[in-house]
Structures are given as C-alpha cells and as structure tokens.
Chain A
Amino acid sequence: MTDPTAPLLPVTDDVDTGGFFLAAARGELAIRICSECRADLHLPRECCPHCGAFSREWRPVSGTGTLYSWTVVHHQVHPAFPVPYTVVLVEVDDTDGVRLVSRIAGCPDLEVGQPMEVWFEQVGDVTLPQWRPTATQEESA
C-alpha cells in the first residue's frame, strides 16, 4: 500500500462493527440492536446502555433518511479525497436517531432536513453505504 491516492477503507472484521460492513456487502443497511430491549445501538457494540444486556443482533433498516448537517471541505487533507467534497451527516429513518456519515463529491445544494437515500459504493473488496439526496420524480423519470 504505497499509493498515496489509494482510498481509505474500513476494517471490516472488527468484532463489534464488522456486521455493518458484512450487511453492506449483501446490499443491506443494518444497525446493531439490543436483543432484549430492542434499542438501536449505533455505534455498534454488544453491551446495551439502556438495559445492560449483551447481544449481537443486527436489524436491516430502510435506506432512507434525512439530512442532519453537512460541511463542504475545501482544504485537502488526504490525497484520496480530492476537494471540494461534501461530508453529510444523515439521520436514518425508522431508527432511534441513528446517524451515518457519507461523502458526496463537489458541493451540491443541500438543506437540513431534506430526504436522503443510501447507495452502495464498491471500493475494491469493500462495500460502503453512501448517501445522496433522494432523486425526485422528475430526475428519476
């Protein structure tokens, strides 16, 4: 790995978080939940802060969400991430406020609260769930 422009990839076999990337490889968005009280646990871990139980359950969730906030990055810090790009923070629908981070190339027009949708980016052997503004009827027609 000497190519400085090689993408940064996530570790996918971590005991607490690996299931997220395993699900993504199947084209699914999945969130860790507590088997006892059914609370969503993101960031993923076995111990539930709500009821104290330990479990390893994953729950497939919808691929839609709303935009919580964002920044447009103008200052380059990593050669694999050319600027400008936009980092979005998305709250996933039908969860206990689970938020995920994603990257959008360039600087799209955005508004807090707007609908977002997941898509799956294949980078080498790894699948990354990424988010983008939900396509409107017109755009998708």
Chain B
Amino acid sequence: MADASWVPGACSIVGIGTTDFSKASGRSPLTLAAQASLAALADAGIDRRDVDGIVRCDMDLVAPPALADSLGVRDLTYWGEAGPGGSGPAAMVGQAVAAIRAGLASTVVVFRSLNGRSGNRYGLVGERGAVGGDGSYDEFFLPFGMQTPGQFFAVVARRYAHEHGLSIDELSHGLGSIALAARAHANSNPDAQFFDRAMTRDDYLASRMLSDPLRLFDFCLETDGAAAVVVTTTERARDLAGSAVPILSVAQGTGHGVQPGQMFPALLRPSTTSWPSAAAAPTLFGRAGVSASDIDVAQIYDCFTITALIQLEDYGFAPRGTAAGLTDADLSVGGVLPLNTSGGHLSEGYIHGMNHVVEGVRQIRGTSTNQVAGAELSLVTSAPPPGASALILGADR
C-alpha cells in the first residue's frame, strides 16, 4: 500500500563508516560499533556529541544507550531497532528517517556490529536437550535435522530448480555467476576479506559441497566488524561538510502467509521460492517513482547465492525462473546489473547487510572501488526470510 505522505529525498545519508573486516577483531562489539560510528560521524563532519538518535539491529549485542555513552552523546532522545537480523538494515535506515520526520531526533546513527566469526557464530547448533517452544517453532526443525541457514537455503535452492525446470547444473551456473561477480568485485576492494583471492568458475564448482546443492562459495563469510551510517534531513545536510546522499525510498514488506517463528518456518509458506522482497518491491519503486529498469547498481542481500538469485526476480531484474541464466559479466560493472560491487557478504564480509548500505552510498558518491560510471540510482536490499526491507539512494540534484 503506497503511502502518500512519503517524501522522496527528505532525508539523506551524510556519513558512512566501517571497521576493518576480520576473522578475529580482538575487540568487543561495543568497541567495533563506536569505531564505525565515529568514522561515519567524521565522514559527515558532525560532532559526535550532537547525535540524538541511534537505531540498531534487533540481534545486535550493543544497546543504544551504551553506544551513545561511548560516543559522548549529550542526550539520546530517540532509539529504536529493526530486524529480524538481515532483514533489518534498510528498515533501520527507514526508522531513522521516520524518527527525524516525526521530530523525535535530528541526527541518527544506524549501525550493525558483530563478532560474527570469533564471537557468536551463525550456523552452529549449540543446543542440548529439549529445543523449541514459546513461539520459536524450533521444535519442528532442529530435532529433525534442519539446523542451519545453509541447510534451509539448500532446500529452497533445490525447490527453485524443480519449479523452474532447471537441472542442478543449470542452477549452479546461476549461483556461480553471483559468487564470481562478488569475488571479482572483492578482488579490487582492499577492504574486502577476499581482496587477494581470485576465483574461477572451476574453483567455484570444485569447492566443497556443504549442503547439496549449495557449496562452500555459495555461503557468506563469517566476519568480525561493524558498519554505520548517519542520517539527517537533506536540508541540514546541505550545510555539512560531507557528501550527502538522499534517501529516495525505503520500504518494508512481509507479504501474506509468512508463518510465525523466524527462518526455518519459511519452508512452510505457500511459496518457498519468492520472498517478502516481492511484497516490498512495488512499495519501494512506487515511493521513489522509478522502476527496476532505472536502477544503475544494486547491493542485494547475499547471505547465500540463492538468496540474491531469488531477490533478482523479486525486484524485477529478471523474469521468474530466469535469473540462473545471468552470467557473472551481466552482474559486473559494465554489465546489465552491477551487483554487490564491494564483494557483498560472499566476498567482502558479512556485516548483516549494513555493509551493503555503505556501498550503496559510495556508488552515488562515485567513490566505490568498483564504481559504476554516472550511477544515479542505487538499490540496497535487506533480506528474507522473515520480512524484507530495501532502500533506493539517488544523486542530490
């Protein structure tokens, strides 16, 4: 449902910041969050004491007041969170816009911080004894062998191939194209974890099968690090030293029949091969007054290659069942849709979607290490299963 009161470009992202991305940060999530936030504030030219709003991911271990205190904030008048998990970052930026537009805050830091490799790791099952209950619905999945996101997405991937009449080899071609494009982009991004490791299609196909049909290079990188952006009004942004990037649109969506619980229950939806992103897409494009064909560059949430592949269809970049036909050249700078130009989760680092927001800003500023010449419309998605969010950034004119 389109909201007539949305004003494209009323707020802007005025600062971006990240930490280094590593496998062992040796720092707490609070330290990482402060480091990324201070970098974003410095980039914006905003005094850290002037922050009055903080939005975090609902899975983050850092509480907004704790970060505010570490930044030396004088008074935090607004805090909020969005998620779940990877569905969060674009929605978190949207929440900052909402707070600013409602007059609840004027300068909002949006961050995600995690020790995703050395701290709490995803994809490990630590549970012992009885699991589930209290609306988690884990009792229908974990004891029956469905235990990790990788296994979940593998079931989805095989179903996708079946529904669209693709052989597993044809599916792997499309998944490989996404992995290869991401890797090539990481190879020219000095901040990416795979800056120094080139990959061929043969390397991809030879990688270890973890949960058939998904192999090692279909999985994102477990990463320690943080990323942050600063949001304020576009009017105020014009007085700042930094380079402001207007937020043309933000949207969230779940669609119908998403099931309670979080990830695994999505296997019980009417369709497992179209995501809540399909519901968010028309709202997103409608609010910006643009269509998919207008988008110059996209940062698509890629916890797994299949996650990005399905979203390419949900957001209208490929007709249903055809995204596996895309080549890595199609998805590279100069191709039909330059995808995940920092390397994304697959090859830059997994900051749970916030690094995608940062790279989306760089593309409009013209400062990406894989710059799309003259990029004016930059899409960032934050993804399924539970719900999806996305944003469109545009050039300030």
Write the residues of chain A forming the contact surface with B, with a CB cutoff of 8 angstroms.
1, 4, 6-14, 16-17, 20-21, 42-43, 45, 49, 68-75, 77-78, 81, 85, 87, 89, 97-103, 107, 112, 123, 126, 128, 130
Given A8-B127, A8-B128, A11-B139, decide whether A81 and B133 contact each other with a Cβ distance below 8 A.
no
Given A45-B260, A85-B145, decide whether A9 and B129 contact each other with a Cβ distance below 8 A.
yes
The answer to whether B145 and A103 touch across the interface, beta carbons within 8 angstroms, is yes
Cα distance A73–B152 when bound, in Å? 10
The answer to whether B144 and A71 touch across the interface, beta carbons within 8 angstroms, is no
The answer to whether A71 and B158 touch across the interface, beta carbons within 8 angstroms, is yes
The answer to whether B150 and A69 touch across the interface, beta carbons within 8 angstroms, is no
The answer to whether B144 and A43 touch across the interface, beta carbons within 8 angstroms, is no
Given A8-B128, A112-B162, decide whether A102 and B145 contact each other with a Cβ distance below 8 A.
yes
The answer to whether A78 and B125 touch across the interface, beta carbons within 8 angstroms, is yes
Cα distance A21–B267 when bound, in Å? 20
B270: interface (CB < 8 Å): yes
Chain B residues numbered 114-147 whose CB sits less than 8 Å from any CB in chain A: 123-125, 127-135, 137-147
The answer to whether B267 and A43 touch across the interface, beta carbons within 8 angstroms, is no
The answer to whether B125 and A71 touch across the interface, beta carbons within 8 angstroms, is no
With a cutoff of 8 Å between Cβ atoms, the chain A residues found around residue B140 in the complex are 10, 17, 20, 43, 100-101
The answer to whether A11 and B150 touch across the interface, beta carbons within 8 angstroms, is no
With a cutoff of 8 Å between Cβ atoms, the chain A residues found around residue B265 in the complex are 43
Cα distance A8–B209 when bound, in Å? 24
Of chain B, the residue at the smallest CB distance from A130 is: B144
The answer to whether B150 and A75 touch across the interface, beta carbons within 8 angstroms, is yes
B196: interface (CB < 8 Å): no
B159: interface (CB < 8 Å): yes
With a cutoff of 8 Å between Cβ atoms, the chain A residues found around residue B133 in the complex are 11, 13-14, 17
With a cutoff of 8 Å between Cβ atoms, the chain A residues found around residue B261 in the complex are 43
Of chain A, the residue at the smallest CB distance from B137 is: A43
B130, B135, B139, B209 — most chain A CB neighbours (10 Å)? B139
Cα distance A6–B137 when bound, in Å? 20
Q: Mark B210-244, 1 if CB is under 8 A from A, else 0.
A: 11111000000000000000000000000000000
Chain B residues numbered 295-309 whose CB sits less than 8 Å from any CB in chain A: none
The answer to whether A43 and B259 touch across the interface, beta carbons within 8 angstroms, is yes
The answer to whether B268 and A99 touch across the interface, beta carbons within 8 angstroms, is yes
With a cutoff of 8 Å between Cβ atoms, the chain A residues found around residue B124 in the complex are 77
Cα distance A103–B211 when bound, in Å? 14
Instruction: Pull 18 A–B residue pairs with CB atoms less than 8 Å apart, ordered by A.
Output: A4-B128, A8-B131, A9-B130, A11-B133, A13-B133, A14-B134, A17-B132, A43-B140, A43-B268, A71-B211, A74-B208, A99-B268, A101-B144, A101-B264, A102-B144, A102-B145, A112-B159, A126-B143
Given A43-B265, A69-B155, decide whether A75 and B130 contact each other with a Cβ distance below 8 A.
no
B156: interface (CB < 8 Å): yes
B327: interface (CB < 8 Å): no
With a cutoff of 8 Å between Cβ atoms, the chain B residues found around residue A78 in the complex are 125, 147
Of chain A, the residue at the smallest CB distance from B126 is: A78
Q: How far is the CB of B15 from chain A (nearest CB, A)?
A: 39
Cα distance A10–B139 when bound, in Å? 4
Q: How far is the CB of A29 from chain B (nearest CB, A)?
A: 13
The answer to whether A11 and B146 touch across the interface, beta carbons within 8 angstroms, is no
B254: interface (CB < 8 Å): no
B31: interface (CB < 8 Å): no
Given A17-B139, A77-B124, A89-B155, decide whether A97 and B270 contact each other with a Cβ distance below 8 A.
yes
The answer to whether A71 and B129 touch across the interface, beta carbons within 8 angstroms, is no
Chain B residues numbered 254-293 whose CB sits less than 8 Å from any CB in chain A: 257, 259-261, 264-265, 267-268, 270, 272
B151: interface (CB < 8 Å): yes
Of chain A, the residue at the smallest CB distance from B124 is: A77
Of chain A, the residue at the smallest CB distance from B213 is: A71
The answer to whether A101 and B148 touch across the interface, beta carbons within 8 angstroms, is no
Cα distance A8–B138 when bound, in Å? 11
Q: How far is the CB of B210 from chain A (nearest CB, A)?
A: 4
With a cutoff of 8 Å between Cβ atoms, the chain B residues found around residue A89 in the complex are 155, 159, 267
Given A10-B130, A97-B270, A128-B143, decide whether A69 and B158 contact each other with a Cβ distance below 8 A.
yes
Cα distance A21–B137 when bound, in Å? 13
